[in-house]
Structure 1
Amino acid sequence: MILKLENLKYQEDAVKSVVKIFEGTEKNTFDNSCKEGIRSNINTLSLDEVESNIKNILLENGISEEVANLSNDKDICVEMETGTGKTLVYVKTIYELFKHHGFTKFIILVPSVAIRQNIIGTFKSFNTQLESIYGFKPNAFEYDSKKLQKVTQFIEDQHPQVMIMTLASFNSEDKILNQAQREDLFNNVPFIDAIGQCNPIIIMDEPQEGMDTDNSIKQIAKLNPLYKIRYSATHKVMKNLLYRLTPYDSYKEGLVKKIEVLTVTEKNDEATLKIELSEIQFGKGDPKVKLKAWHLNKSTNKIDFKVTGWLNQNDNLGDKTNNPSYLNYTISNINKSLKTGLTTVTFSNGTEILEKQISGGLANIWALQIEWLIHRHFTKSQKLESKGIKCLSLIFIDRVSNYMGENPIIKNLFVEKYKAIYSEYNQGKVPSSEHIQSIQGYYFAQKASGEFADNEGGVKEQSKIYELILKGKEELLTLSNPVQFVFSHSALGVGWDNPNVFNIATLNNSYSEIKKRQEIGRGLRICVNQEGQRIYDALDVDDNERINQLTVIPNETYETFVTQYQEEIKSVYGTTNAGAGMTHTHKGDAMDAVKFKRNSSAEMDKAFREYWTALAKKTEYTIAFDEENLITSASEFISKITIPDFVIEASSHLIHSITEEGRTDTFGGTDKVKQKSYFTPLDLIEELSENTGLSYTTLFSIVTRLTNLNEMVKNPPRFIHEASTIIRNVELDKMIRGLDYNLTGESYPFDFDDFVKNMPATRFVETPNKGVFDKMIIDSDVERNFSLGADAAAEVVCFLKLPSWYKISTPIGNYEPDFGLVMKRKNLKNGNEKEFYFVIETKGTNDINDKSALTESEIYKIRCAMKHFEKLGLEVHYKAPVKEFTYFKTEADKIINTIM
């Protein structure tokens, strides 16, 4: 199924509102938006001109300046009710901003892995349709600290780039993007600073979820956004509100489902529903217990579900919690069973609570909620299937163990109720166990150990479950897919939704802190049929004929559901009428003003000026590339890959003795069983494209020539890794072979005066002897040690850390070499001294083929630089990579000896 793109007026209005902010700005082009290899977003409008545009937009959208909260801050708010497609709105906004204004750099900032995966799914679902409309497809990718080449592409590329990332990717100084002491920096600056030079437009999805803390504001500011555009239904920070679609408007216009709240309660059993046995103490004196119950704070009138202090026999729970609901609950007995070893707490009214079990009343409530959910599901399914619409029901639980644990009470209740109710709607038939299992789906956070977690922290360790449910959204919508009931953790509801969720039950054993708008939002979207087409109801449709109706079934702790929902609406809009009808602790080194002073030696000044005359010559490159040659070479090398068999091995050792001297045993033999892997050719092409950047067409030509696809089947991930490495190496080799540099006739100016920089002591080293300046700026320990070695060497005339504005252009961005150095040597035959010029690139290795110490881009840029310096003639000798000064001196001696 392919979800169909719609032209909905309210969505178009939201898109246009943002695009019009920049009306009148100079359109971004290659010529006006590129500087030093970085493609940026530029806005030529003044703040006053932007404000004028915003006022015109507000007038069109009927929003007063007071409600909009006009501000000169570069923050824009777009408010859309949950379920109305805000993700698709800002995706289309990206296309329109490039189309109208040429903006190319966008960051989508999300609060969680779930929302990030949902956005990636949205791009994949609508890429083809949007490309047919706009004629291009942006490079949308999720940030991965292990794939910094994608960040480099984001910074340098002319094509629209969309980087999707969580705040956790850069919200502390130790994150990779913030690190300044790395060998793989972009142009010798932290990646966060390089990204900042792009002036990206930052799209903030649900910014109220932690994006406005002091630390978050500080970290986001490093990205130097052109503008921040906030999208949410529940803004906490409101600035320059351009567009607003309220719950009432979306509800009234039929843009979301209607809401039915089906409350399940038991009367005269309220307290039992709210008591759990938390802890027991046996030993000296009488036994004691701690109970989890509702506590009433009389000063704030707020109720919290929390653990009491130690309670004894005859203690009254109402007194201990300040909650009059419990006044009839006096502890009459605390007993530990000899048979089961379990503790029971008995109250004066006859209620009993057993250790390790939830109070009986709650299980009964869950049973009723599930029963009504299944009834609603069957009633709706039979009506919807005839229209080609699949009905999904969502069940929130607040303890994963209640579904996945040793005593999965919720799962057991579901099976029991489903069996009974199924017969009522299916002519008395009894469903098989296989059928009942097949209709259930779930997504919970899962840790790397395989354990399921009760909070979102587990998602950061393992997102496979999330990826499965999100990437399979369209699959879940098909009638042929058996899954009809999806179980999820209540704390993980944000970020996943499906247009065909028609029923939501919330099975909690305590008060839920989740906002009601957030929870019901999981099922508000208008449904779709088997063609992916949204199906709307007429505005005057009879309730009995309505298709888009969401039934919410809260438990007893949700008896104030509607009141709380209306209070949320009131806190945002000022009236209930707007609602729907229903670390690293490192803080950085101290910064001081450091003065860098030119060496006053006349001999050094003369040598350096002559050296600079040779070094400063600029070049430009041309490149010729033979794709057929690349295809042939890559396929030949990949066809030589051999992969060990994927096996499970069993071996036997009979141990005779284990002593301090060692172990004696007899080997009994071994068995190996080959395992099969399942992988499709399309997966191979897609994975190779992801890892190499080559087009599907080129990779298809390579793969069709392979003679060893049987090797791939043995271990697909390993094969792809090795093949990707081969392709990248072939690409590198072919591009280098076709690369040529030519002198432009221009030169960098001799511009070296004393200067002052604010920097910590760790960022420079004293070079009073041979330094062109008395101090040298360094970015690593390798550079520090090289500087100290050069400053102490008798044969060195002068050296310096080359300025950041000295750049060599390469096909993958500008390259900045590290050091320039002049060395002198006396000719033993005639006694004359001669000076020799060097440029040095310092790295953590002396071997250019050491891929554990060098990235592919570093190797590529070094090899490009070799060709650049060849064009300068024999005057300047380039040595890279260099780890120690002693190694450089040995290599320099070899060069000098061949010349002299």
Structure 2
Amino acid sequence: MGIKLEELAYQQTAIKSVVDVFDGTVKNGFDNASSQGIRSNIISLSKEQVQENIKSVIQENGLSEEIAKLTPEQELTIEMETGTGKTLVYIKTIYELYKHYGFTKFIILVPSVAIRQGVLSTLETFNKQLEDIYGFTPKAFEYDSKRLNKVTNFIEEQHPQIMIMTLASFNSEDKILNQAKREDLFANIPFIEAIGRTNPIIIMDEPQEGMDTPNSIKQIAKLNPLFKLRYSATHKVSKNKLYRLTPYDSYKDGLVKKIEVLTVTEKNDEATLKLELAEVQNAKGSIKVKIKAWHQMASGKIQFKNTGWLKDGDNLGEKTKNTSYLNYKIERIQKSLRTQKWTVSFTNGTEILEKQTSGNVQSIWNLQLEWLIIRHFTKKQKLKEQGIKCLSLIFIDKVSNYVSDNPIIKNIFIEKYLELYPEFHNNQIPSAEHIEHIQGSYFAKTGKGEFTDNESSMRKNSEVFDAILKDKEGLLNYGNSVANKIEFIFSHSALGVGWDNPNIFNIATLSNSYSEIKKRQEIGRGLRICLNDKGHRVYDKVDVSDAERINQLTVIPNETYETFVTQYQEEIKEVYGTPTAGAGMTHTHKGTPQNEVRFKRNDSENINKAFKRFWKALAKKTNYTVAFDEEAIISRSREALNQINIADYVAEVSSRSISAITEEEFKDDFGGSESYKLRANYTALDLVEELSENTSLSYNTTFAIIRDIDHTHFAKNPPQFIHRATALIKNIELEEMLRGLDYKLTNETFPFNFEDFVKQIDDKRFTPTPNRGIFDKTLVDSEVEHKFALSADNDDEVICFLKLPAYYKIPTPIGDYEPDFGIVMKRKSLKNGMENEFYFVIETKGTNDINDKRALKESEKYKIECALKHFAVLGVEVKYKAPFKEYEYFKTEAQKEIRKVQEIKAD
């Protein structure tokens, strides 16, 4: 069929971002980039010129220097949400770098076999189409220690070369590339050194998968890269981030599938979130219980442990810091007269019994696979009419549950398939051969290249294994080949990152894993926009309903997966600063449709005229400049660091002897503890490096700060001192930034779309505002916003108001800022009887005090202070007020502002 190459604007931006870093360098050729038989990559730019290019790129892409994490290191970061085509992006970047600058040596570094095969498949798929565009084809090959002649060609060739390698191929001294004593050396030097002389550009695909360990950094450095380019959706280390395609942007622009989370439950037995009634306290006063549940820890990990004592009315979500449990409010704790067992009932209908864990693994698997097959059959019928093949992916807990003498998961799948098939296929019964052919399995290999759990069984199935790994196009079509017939793909972990297929429409997770990154990557296997049998991507219209949507990924989680999906959305909100910055998730229970909520524009002429006048004043755009006083930063930072007081760096050794292990808990005896003072192996140079890295200050500036401070407390506990010093210096940088921050009006304005719109949301996400809202409903993200909107809608002095659209962004040095509400008020003057309009922009928070550090993050405070400067240059018409917790307090402050204006006009 041939997958068709598309010209996508966001991909072109990502490619151009890297290409522009080298703008101005002399083009490489035989004369200037060859020496002693080796063709190298060279750049004629100074480090300062490269840094200026990087700054220009991030400014053009709207990233602040803080987000970009600027560093003089020769590394660049591209962040692209899973499923948006980063592999193709970096392959096309290679073509562009050769076209513009003549760079010829590229190494694609991958962490796994699955990702390596994905790269090779992408190169093969688009080889001809790229040649038609660029007029050349790089020599691309997979590194093989038994074919070192290809490495020799890589070193010598003038033609562009791409070598795809796993980290494992050179990450220890005994690997062939590192060996110095061989008969087949290149120019009597180890191959790793010869490769290093080519100064390759190294593309790190998923670098968070082990490429930033001390040993990996050391081994990669031997390759002497001209630059390292990092590509991932989940970077742990980020340096010189040039481009960022966020989950918010991906979902907003329809670049990936929408996600449906199908929670599967049994009656009175919660399957999506495991619960256990661990202990009951029936003493004087109210009855209390301890419930074992998944807790969201401060570190970001999820831990299954006991709560403290809970009583009627307590909310499990609040007690565990886990938003997935917010609908679990204790309604009643009771003891049965008949069974003498305690029961806890929740307001959402769930009940848990004493000493019983809610949820049985195999019964949950039954329901998960049942609904996966139902969703698969339903989608298959609709998609096949449009030439789109439907695939489903199942992650399992261990390989033996699919490949063994008693493969539990496989048996459940076959049973459910046989049971459901007739319902969707005119009462026909599928043959055993058909059921076998529609299943494909991909399981990880060991370091020795053997299949895990059952090598012999897997080798019999090697044809299926290869079809999944290598025949991507075959999987996209119905036909007679092995890949054509596969519809359900089973995997343990190997397909959790690197492998994907655009026609994965359903994912079930029959495993127990609590790694947030792993869960995000698993969802990512099905996020790509689908392809039809002619190789064309099939997009949905922007206003398509869920019933008609083609690109919809259904996720059927185990008891921890629902927890992750909710936490994932919270994480995206925290990272990207907008409550809508996450997957457009539709929560369903056994297929129950969601309410469609339509937002309608208020038809009041007075409201619309007033709002148009307000928007005209509000819509002016600004940009800013910043001037830093370096001496002030040095002086203030030095003073602040001298105030740091650090306790002694100690290690505590404690003893606990386990005396008994019961079904409920471990019992132990405390045997005592001792503390020991320790010394850290840190130097003043380490302090300079760490502070410079953490604060983005130059080495010279950092050295000027620490040169004359008292180093006593640094020596006690260097990591703690560096942590506190970093926080202090960052705050000083922000304060000095504000002093030198200057906004200017541009000639641009924000547009406003008055069209009605529809959202798939629950009733807690909006507040009815029929009286004075620009729309009859207002989107809200918190209880504070809900109360604020209600009060504004019922205030006779308010003409109109709205929650400002997400695209109304004020640029600041620490990222874009989105204020909450715009309000138009009226007030009649007692002196002259004239009625005037007053315009306000509001930020709601859990406090009325901008200096309340418990309620406001430092970044939130500084964005508010930047916004004050932005609105100041808009003119006197629009008044910006922040923060506010209660509407009444805002009204008091607004009245003060109105009186002040009226007094000026009266004079």
Q: Does the 8 Å contact 2:400/2:454 carry over to 1?
A: no
Partner of 1:90: 90
In the alignment, is residue 530 of structure 1 matched against residue 529 of structure 2? no
Query: Under a length normalisation based on structure 2, what TM-score does the superposition of the two structures give?
Result: 0.54
Partner of 2:418: 419
Matching of residues 351-750 of structure 1 within 5 Å: 361-446=360-445, 452-453=451-452, 467-480=466-479, 481-490=484-493, 492-509=495-512, 511=514, 515-570=518-573, 572-573=575-576, 577-582=580-585
Equivalent pairs: percent with the same residue? 70
Q: Which amino acid is the alignment partner of residue 566 of structure 2?
A: T
Q: Does the 8 Å contact 1:444/1:465 carry over to 2?
A: no
Q: Does the 8 Å contact 1:294/1:305 carry over to 2?
A: yes
Shift of 1:260: 0.5
- Please give the secondary structure, in 2, of the residue aligned with 1:149: helix
Q: Which amino acid is the alignment partner of residue 485 of structure 1?
A: F
Q: CA 1:219–1:535 in structure 2 vs 1: closer, same or farther (change >3 Å)?
A: same
Q: Deviations over 1:736-785 (max 9, x none)?
A: xxxxxxxxxxxxxxxxxxxxxxxxxxxxxxxxxxxxxxxxxxxxxxxxxx
Partner of 1:223: 223
**5+ residue gaps, structure 1:** 277-292, 307-323, 333-346, 353-358, 583-900
Partner of 1:232: 232
Q: CA 1:578–1:455 in structure 2 vs 1: closer, same or farther (change >3 Å)?
A: farther
Q: Distance in 1 between matches of 2:542 and 2:104?
A: 40
Q: CA 1:495–1:389 in structure 2 vs 1: closer, same or farther (change >3 Å)?
A: same
Q: Deviations over 1:840-865 (max 9, x none)?
A: xxxxxxxxxxxxxxxxxxxxxxxxxx
Shift of 1:419: 1.3
In the alignment, is residue 142 of structure 1 matched against residue 145 of structure 2? no
Q: CA 1:368–1:24 in structure 2 vs 1: closer, same or farther (change >3 Å)?
A: same
In the alignment, is residue 179 of structure 1 matched against residue 179 of structure 2? yes
Q: Which amino acid is the alignment partner of residue 209 of structure 2?
A: E
Partner of 1:681: none
Q: Does the 8 Å contact 1:389/1:479 carry over to 2?
A: no
| CA RMSD in angstroms, aligned pairs only | 3.6
- Please give the secondary structure, in 2, of the residue aligned with 1:487: strand
Partner of 1:661: none
Q: Distance in 2 between matches of 1:450 and 1:54?
A: 42
Q: CA 1:41–1:222 in structure 2 vs 1: closer, same or farther (change >3 Å)?
A: same
Matching of residues 289-368 of structure 1 within 5 Å: 304=303, 361-368=360-367
Q: Which amino acid is the alignment partner of residue 554 of structure 1?
A: P
Q: Does the 8 Å contact 1:440/1:483 carry over to 2?
A: yes
In the alignment, is residue 51 of structure 1 matched against residue 54 of structure 2? no
- Please give the secondary structure, in 2, of the residue aligned with 1:155: helix
Shift of 1:448: 9.7
Shift of 1:423: 1.2
Q: Distance in 1 between matches of 2:188 and 2:449?
A: 40
Query: Under a length normalisation based on structure 1, what TM-score does the superposition of the two structures give?
Result: 0.55
Q: Does the 8 Å contact 2:5/2:126 carry over to 1?
A: yes
Q: CA 1:303–1:32 in structure 2 vs 1: closer, same or farther (change >3 Å)?
A: closer
Partner of 2:196: 196
Q: Distance in 2 between matches of 1:145 and 1:426?
A: 51
- Please give the secondary structure, in 2, of the residue aligned with 1:559: helix
Q: Which amino acid is the alignment partner of residue 183 of structure 1?
A: E
Q: Which amino acid is the alignment partner of residue 69 of structure 2?
A: N
Q: Distance in 1 between matches of 2:273 and 2:36?
A: 66
Partner of 1:861: none
Q: Does the 8 Å contact 1:455/1:491 carry over to 2?
A: no
196-205 or 263-272: bigger deviation? 263-272
Q: Does the 8 Å contact 2:69/2:240 carry over to 1?
A: yes
Q: Does the 8 Å contact 1:454/1:489 carry over to 2?
A: no
Shift of 1:559: 3.2
Q: Which amino acid is the alignment partner of residue 498 of structure 1?
A: N
Q: Does the 8 Å contact 1:259/1:550 carry over to 2?
A: yes
Q: CA 1:415–1:491 in structure 2 vs 1: closer, same or farther (change >3 Å)?
A: same
Q: Distance in 1 between matches of 2:509 and 2:576?
A: 26
Q: Does the 8 Å contact 1:445/1:463 carry over to 2?
A: no
Alignment: residue pair count: 527
In the alignment, is residue 12 of structure 1 matched against residue 12 of structure 2? yes
Q: Which amino acid is the alignment partner of residue 502 of structure 1?
A: F
Q: Which amino acid is the alignment partner of residue 402 of structure 1?
A: N
Shift of 1:522: 0.1
Q: CA 1:299–1:241 in structure 2 vs 1: closer, same or farther (change >3 Å)?
A: closer
Q: Does the 8 Å contact 1:234/1:572 carry over to 2?
A: no
Q: CA 1:191–1:405 in structure 2 vs 1: closer, same or farther (change >3 Å)?
A: same
- Please give the secondary structure, in 1, of the residue aligned with 2:473: helix
Shift of 1:568: 3.8
Q: Distance in 1 between matches of 2:197 and 2:516?
A: 40
Shift of 1:171: 1.0
Q: Does the 8 Å contact 2:274/2:294 carry over to 1?
A: no
Q: Deviations over 1:284-321 (max 9, x none)?
A: xxxxxxxxx98989998965579xxxxxxxxxxxxxxx
Q: Does the 8 Å contact 1:400/1:452 carry over to 2?
A: no
**5+ residue gaps, structure 2:** 277-291, 306-324, 329-333, 340-351, 586-907
Shift of 1:467: 4.3
Q: Distance in 2 between matches of 1:39 and 1:414?
A: 55
Shift of 1:546: 0.9
- Please give the secondary structure, in 2, of the residue aligned with 1:442: strand
Q: Does the 8 Å contact 1:398/1:491 carry over to 2?
A: no
Q: Which amino acid is the alignment partner of residue 395 of structure 2?
A: F
Q: Distance in 2 between matches of 1:402 and 1:420?
A: 20
Shift of 1:433: 1.4
Q: Distance in 1 between matches of 2:249 and 2:296?
A: 37
Shift of 1:93: 0.5
Partner of 1:257: 257
Shift of 1:468: 3.6
Q: Does the 8 Å contact 2:197/2:224 carry over to 1?
A: yes
Shift of 1:573: 3.5
Shift of 1:249: 0.5
Q: Distance in 2 between matches of 1:99 and 1:521?
A: 32
Q: Does the 8 Å contact 1:113/1:463 carry over to 2?
A: no
Q: Which amino acid is the alignment partner of residue 47 of structure 1?
A: K
Shift of 1:380: 0.7
Q: CA 1:543–1:187 in structure 2 vs 1: closer, same or farther (change >3 Å)?
A: same
Q: CA 1:182–1:477 in structure 2 vs 1: closer, same or farther (change >3 Å)?
A: same
551-560 or 138-147: bigger deviation? 551-560
Q: Deviations over 1:597-621 (max 9, x none)?
A: xxxxxxxxxxxxxxxxxxxxxxxxx
